[in-house]
Amino acid sequence: MSKKGVLFPYIYKYKIPYLLGLLTLLIVDYVNLFIPQITGEITDGLAGNTLDLKGVFLLIISLLGCALIITVGRVLWRFFIFGTSRKIERELRNDMFSKLEELSSTFFNTHKTGDLMTHFTNDLEALRNAIGPAVISSFDAVVMTGLVLYKMMVHVDLKLTLLTLIPMSLIAIGGYYFGETFEKKFAEKQEAFANMSDYVQESVTGERVIKAFVQEKIQEQNFRKVNLHNMKKNLEVVKLMATFMPLLDFIIGLSYAITIIYGGYLAITAQITLGRFVAFSQYLGMLVWPMIALGDSITSFSQGRAAIGRIRHIFHEIPDIQDDENTEDIQELKGNISFCHLSFSYGDEYGDVLHDIHLDIQQGETLAILGRCGDGKTTLVNLLLRLYDVTQGEILIDGVNIKKIPLHILRTNIAYVPQDSMLFSDTLAHNIAFGKENATLEEVQEACREACVHENILDFPEGYETVVGERGVTLSGGQKQRCAIARALLKDAPILILDDSLSAVDTDTEDRILENLKAKRHNKTTLIIAHRISTVRNADHILVLDEGKICEYGTFDELMEIQGVFRSMYEKQQLEKQLSEE
């Protein structure tokens, strides 16, 4: 981002429409000045019998001409400034989304979804108001005030103008202090809204868990507290506005009172004409809008400053994972993987999740990874995907450190099926074709046959055009896993990672899928994380992790002969199987 700020490049890009809008607004404000003057001339002419019917008619034509110019001008400045603010809002939202796509997993681990959603909704709306309506308000507050005061002093009376300005000056002083307080309160309001949004999002996502544990009342009570906090923060903003706006009205009324008392005195004593008194009253009325506009602009700019401060944090965030300066020109990977004395920790306070992992996987081999929960199985494949970077040691693919492989190339050459089989709110066909551009329906169907889910999909009323719910909630666990496997198989990458992706599938279907994998992925590398021994029985090598360290490593037969952890796991699962069959 530019050192001049997050917003400056967008404003600069649309400087021409902005300038045209301000120029049009200036013309409108200038033409507005003639309306009280013409009205005063008509009043004086009629009162002094110095105007005939033709003169009145010409002055009325002048008023209508001014009205026409003002009408056209208001349409144009709305088109230029409001239209531009909408375009900037759209581009900011697009760029902010692109920035989020660049950020590493660490960022999303520490930022709540609800807070990020608030950036895309309330914060951008506040920013748009600051660069759209608030620009109009502030321009009017400065330019219109200056032009009107000049007319009041020159065309009517200097003393009367200065007297009415005394209360008006209080608005500017109070507005400065009000703006600082409002900015702070608005930031707190946005944070409260973000917390509430995040709570609702989590509750909707975890609706099944809430019902299963009969926690609806507890969730409702907790939401009431979050919602109450949100209401209090909103009320604090409302109270500030409820204080400032009536004070603004009072000051404007005070200026009117001075005008009526002293201006009436000047008119009665013939120091000014009746027409000029009428014109002055209209000019004072024209000052009311800039004073109100000043209050609106202070509010909008305060909200905008708070919003851009929150948005700036996203744009200034530096991804933990990005391409190395010495990235090599690699377009395709074969699948030879080496973990060289690999160690990793999520932070000093957590200790090593993986410690001194050292092994080689040749192209075309299948490595199975077993271990208890928390032993670092998923972390190992996350490091291979460079969702995180290793703490010590290195990972080589085809003899090249993965930090020197372009991220796009690395991840393009790896197909990944995570533990949580994520499906989007879209058709099954689009979900499965997600990882391959321009995939045909025939290719999608073939991948589904290999993942043993084709027949299930055909049973749905709309077949492959069936729209699944959010995160695939309308499918069973096994169906989601097999759809995710089909998506990975369709990608047909040199390296395939299955992270406990067959846990919700029955053993017969599991065997069919594994046979299909063996036939399809000849000469391609596969990593399978599993808990069932049956899943990994035919793997070329089996890695058993224990507290992040290599506990055992070898083929199925070799590990059975050792009579260690793997043999114990196998015998335990066989016993559980026999008991379940009895």
What is the domain-level CATH number for residue 581? 3.40.50.300
Q: How confident is the model at residue 361 (pLDDT cuts 50, 70, 90)?
A: very high
| Chain segment 30-58, per-residue pLDDT in tens | 887 777 777 777 776 766 666 677 777 88
| Same domain as 540, residue 406 | yes
Residue 541 above 90 pLDDT?
Answer: yes
Strand 392-397 and strand 541-546: the pairing is unpaired
| Same domain as 403, residue 284 | no
| Same domain as 172, residue 248 | yes
| pLDDT given for residue 359 in this prediction | 92
Mean pLDDT, all residues of the chain: 81
Cα 163 from chain centroid?
Answer: 50
| pLDDT given for residue 336 in this prediction | 93
492, 433 Cβ separation under 8 angstroms: no
Residue 1 in domain:
no
| Same domain as 170, residue 85 | yes
Percent of residues, the chain, with pLDDT higher than 90: 14
| Same domain as 154, residue 32 | yes
Cα 274 from chain centroid?
Answer: 59
| Same domain as 27, residue 41 | yes
367, 526 Cβ separation under 8 angstroms: yes
Task: Give me the mean pLDDT over the 550-570 stretch.
Answer: 88
How many structural domains does the chain have? Answer: 3
| pLDDT given for residue 259 in this prediction | 67
Residue 367, number of CB atoms within 10 A of its CB: 22
| pLDDT given for residue 319 in this prediction | 82
Task: Give me the mean pLDDT over the 318-334 stretch.
Answer: 83
| Same domain as 137, residue 83 | yes
| Chain segment 376-414, per-residue pLDDT in tens | 888 999 999 988 888 889 999 999 999 999 988 898 899
Most trustworthy range by pLDDT among 136-150, 166-180, 230-244? 230-244
Residue 211 above 70 pLDDT?
Answer: no
378, 452 Cβ separation under 8 angstroms: no
| Chain segment 482-528, per-residue pLDDT in tens | 888 999 999 889 999 998 888 878 888 888 988 888 888 888 999 99
Residue 133 in domain:
yes
Residue 339 in domain:
yes
Q: What is the spatial distance between Cα 185 and Cα 56, in angstroms, rounded to a whole number?
A: 54
Residue 258 above 80 pLDDT?
Answer: no
| pLDDT given for residue 173 in this prediction | 65
Residue 216 in domain:
no
Residue 216 above 80 pLDDT?
Answer: no
Task: Give me the mean pLDDT over the 224-250 stretch.
Answer: 81
| Same domain as 150, residue 99 | yes
Residue 558 above 70 pLDDT?
Answer: yes
At which residue do the structure tokens 């066989």 appear? Answer: 574
CATH number of domain containing 158: 1.20.1560.10
Residue 469 in domain:
yes
| Chain segment 126-143, per-residue pLDDT in tens | 888 888 888 887 787 777
363, 336 Cβ separation under 8 angstroms: yes
| Same domain as 364, residue 288 | no
Residue 501 in domain:
yes
Chosen domain end from 315, 340, 373: 315
| Same domain as 449, residue 371 | no
486, 453 Cβ separation under 8 angstroms: yes
Beta-bridged to residue 195, according to DSSP, are: none
Considering only residues 262 and 516, tell me which one the structure prediction assigns the higher pLDDT: 516
Residue 254 in domain:
yes
| pLDDT given for residue 55 in this prediction | 75
Residue 474 in domain:
yes
Chosen domain end from 457, 492, 527: 492
Torsion of CA 81, 87, 90, 91, to 10 degrees: -120
Beta-bridged to residue 392, according to DSSP, are: 343
Lowest mean pLDDT among 81-95, 270-284, 412-426, 470-484: 270-284
Structure tokens at 325: 């300066």
Q: How confident is the model at residue 340 (pLDDT cuts 50, 70, 90)?
A: very high
| pLDDT given for residue 116 in this prediction | 81
Angle at the Cα of 568 from the Cα atoms of 372 and 555, rounded to 5 degrees: 85
| Same domain as 383, residue 280 | no
Angle at the Cα of 505 from the Cα atoms of 502 and 509, rounded to 5 degrees: 105
| Same domain as 356, residue 259 | no
Residue 195 above 70 pLDDT?
Answer: yes
| pLDDT given for residue 237 in this prediction | 81
Residue 4 above 60 pLDDT?
Answer: no
Q: What is the spatial distance between Cα 320 and Cα 370, in angstroms, rounded to a whole number?
A: 29
| Chain segment 84-117, per-residue pLDDT in tens | 988 998 999 899 888 888 887 778 777 777 778 8
Identify which of 84, 74, 75, 72 has the alpha carbon closest to the alpha carbon of residue 132.
84
| pLDDT given for residue 3 in this prediction | 40
Q: Which domain holds residue 436?
A: 421-492
| pLDDT given for residue 360 in this prediction | 93
Q: How confident is the model at residue 2 (pLDDT cuts 50, 70, 90)?
A: very low
Residue 304, number of CB atoms within 10 A of its CB: 23
DSSP at 48: T
Q: What is the spatial distance between Cα 490 and Cα 192, in angstroms, rounded to a whole number?
A: 43
Task: Give me the mean pLDDT over the 350-366 stretch.
Answer: 88
Identify which of 571, 501, 512, 553 has the alpha carbon closest to the alpha carbon of residue 369.
553
Q: How confident is the model at residue 338 (pLDDT cuts 50, 70, 90)?
A: very high
DSSP at 286: H
Chosen domain end from 268, 293, 315: 315
Lowest mean pLDDT among 5-14, 221-230, 234-243, 448-457: 234-243
Strand 337-345 and strand 352-361: the pairing is antiparallel
Task: Give me the mean pLDDT over the 411-419 stretch.
Answer: 88
| pLDDT given for residue 462 in this prediction | 86
